[in-house]
Amino acid sequence: MSSYADAAANTNRKLDSAASNAEGNAKVDADKLKKKAGETASDAKKKLSDLEKDGKSKLDETEDFLKKYYNIFSSYVSDFGGKVSAKSSDVSSKAYKELQNPAVIGQIIATFGALGAFYVGYIERSKIFNSNHKCVVSAHVAVVTGFVLLDGFLFNKYYNKYKK
């Protein structure tokens, strides 16, 4: 029986030795993993720091770009507004000056009269063109043509006379 007891004791020693080796190997592997994790974390921190610096510089570049073009755009809008204001002031003063001339006032009245005659002719077109008397159409055309010719004649004659 001693051989069975010796064999069992020998197997038990081998198992203890294997367990001890496995525990030592596990500690070595754990230390290696811990070291590798520390290196990876350090690299990640460094890369994040670099990305943060890079991001800040890109943000600063973008901000400078936007400020530059905002200033250009705002000066353009401001200049355009000043030009429009000056031009509208100039146009209104010229219009006021022109409206002091009686020939211009007469031309405005004649223009509205011609527009009124065209409107009445448009409304009454069925009566005018369906009339038994063909001279009705000729009379209307003659009145409108005479109105335009009289307006042109009076404007040419009196505009320079009353120009200020």
Phi, psi of 32 (to 5 degrees): -65, -45
- In tens digits, the chain (164 residues) has pLDDT values of 567 777 777 776 777 677 676 677 777 777 777 788 788 888 888 887 877 777 778 778 888 888 888 888 888 888 888 888 878 888 888 888 888 888 888 888 888 887 887 788 778 777 767 766 767 777 877 887 887 888 888 888 887 877 76
Q: d(Cα 142, Cα 137) in Å, to the nearest integer?
A: 9
Q: d(Cα 33, Cα 31) in Å, to the nearest integer?
A: 5
0.75 surpassed by pTM: no
